[in-house]
Amino acid sequence: TRLILATRNAGKINELKAILADAGLTHDLVGADAYPDIPDVKETGVTFAENALLKAHALAQATGLPAVADDSGLCVDVLNGAPGIFSARWAGKHGDDKANLDLLLAQLADIDEAHRGAHFACAAALALPDGTERVVEGRLRGVLRHTPSGTNGFGYDPILQPEGETRTCAELAPEEKNAISHRGKAFRALVPVVRDLLG
């Protein structure tokens, strides 16, 4: 059966296909980019979980198929959790990863090593056309570098160095990132829920 990945972020789609296939899910995984006529839902929630559910329900309703969605972001300790749910549009324009990362680095320029803690957060939601919904979350803790390093991944990956690592997320191989990431944890926890509800 087909399972819609309710996201148009190519970085997420790549990671989700690998994470879900590695976890043994045999569904036909199709990104929302295959449905260009379905409008993007307004992310009006105030939490990752609320926004993930909004996205999953929108695609499940519009396609009549089960859908999973990811809402995620970077939560910085000294910024009281910002950018958080605003991570994709921190510098103004939605999805401008470089502008977002540059602005955040500028905001943290005077913060010393001991106070650069942060985490990535991911809410993974499943919605069925009949309105059934489930959501689980995952986190990846680390520290923020002063300068970007690495070319893998997307978004803030070049500046987050996971706890216990000497490399940034953008210097990890994709399978290394997925093994420890917020997205890997959340979606591996969602797999048994998908199996339970969809078979």
Main-chain dihedrals φ then ψ at residue 177, nearest 5 degrees: -65, -50
CA-based max dimension of the chain = 52
Is 71 known as a binding-site position? yes
Radius of gyration of the chain (CA): 16
Catalytic residue among 22, 71, 96, 97: 71
Residue 35 within binding range of ligand ITT, rule CB under 6 A: no
Among 20, 108, 120, 168, binds ligand ITT (CB under 6 A): 120
Choice from 57, 119, 134, 183 touching ligand ITT (CB under 6 A): 183
Please tell me whether residue 168 binds ligand ITT under the rule CB under 6 A: no
Q: Does 33 bind ligand ITT (CB under 6 A)?
A: no
* Residues 74 and 87 sit within 8 Å (Cβ to Cβ): yes
Q: Which residue is nearest to ligand ITT (CB)?
A: 155
Alpha-carbon distance of 58 to 30, in angstroms, equals 15
Q: Is 9 in the site for ligand ITT (CB under 6 A)?
A: yes
Our finding on whether 87 is near ligand ITT (CB under 6 A) is: yes
Phi, psi at 79, each rounded to 5°: -105, 20
Where in the sequence numbering do the catalytic residues fall? 71
